[in-house]
Amino acid sequence: MKSEGEPETRNQKPETYCGEFITHSAEETFAFGRSIGEQLKGGEVLLLKGDLGAGKTIFAKGLAAGLGIVAADVTSPSFTLVNVHKGRLQFYHVDLYRLEAGAHQGLGLEEIFDDENAVTVIEWAERLGFVPARSTVVEMFYRSTSERRIVVSEVD
């Protein structure tokens, strides 16, 4: 049974944060992101996918909070493409919303993917055009004005 404020879990692997989750509010989506952020050790790339308003930025704020970064400092980098924050690990927050698919070349993303002392989060990751090594895909689905289905899976 889930406690108040905790996302429902379906098919979760106990040794990882992979699985299917239902959150019932923006606060739960944030808390879920924070719980994952607390587990990250560096070198991870999280590929966030979902429609506009699915909660990608709220989830990214939670991840950042789990890394010891003030969540209010984390905003969607739609116009700058990459924002960098310092916490327990460096946090690269990438937003590809304004890019055409595959138009990332020349942005230096490959270098940040290799940073073992950082976590990279990419919103609108489907526009990247490839899947970096050590990636985790986070797919967010709108269920209602407050509910989201979040599917977290490792890339083989």
CATH label of the domain that carries residue 101 = 3.40.50.300
Asked if pLDDT for residue 122 goes beyond 80, the answer is: yes
The edge-to-edge listing of strands for the beta sheet with 8-10 is 8-10, 19-23, 148-154, 135-142, 45-50, 118-123, 90-95, 82-86
Least confident of 5-14, 46-55, 97-106, 147-156: 5-14
Average of per-residue pLDDT values in the chain: 83
Q: Please report which helix (H) or strand (E) contains residue 58, including its range.
A: helix 56-66
Residue 106 is assigned to a structural domain of this protein: yes
- Using alpha carbons, list the distances in angstroms from residue 106 to 109, 110, 149: 8, 9, 34
pTM: 0.83
Q: What integer is the mean pLDDT of 52-66?
A: 93
What is residue 107's predicted lDDT score, i.e. its pLDDT? 63
What is residue 99's predicted lDDT score, i.e. its pLDDT? 62
Residue 14 is assigned to a structural domain of this protein: no
Residues of the domain holding 75: 19-115+131-154
Residue 109 is assigned to a structural domain of this protein: yes
* Amino acid letter, residue 45: V
Count of structural domains, the chain: 1
Residue 28 is assigned to a structural domain of this protein: yes
Residue 37 is assigned to a structural domain of this protein: yes
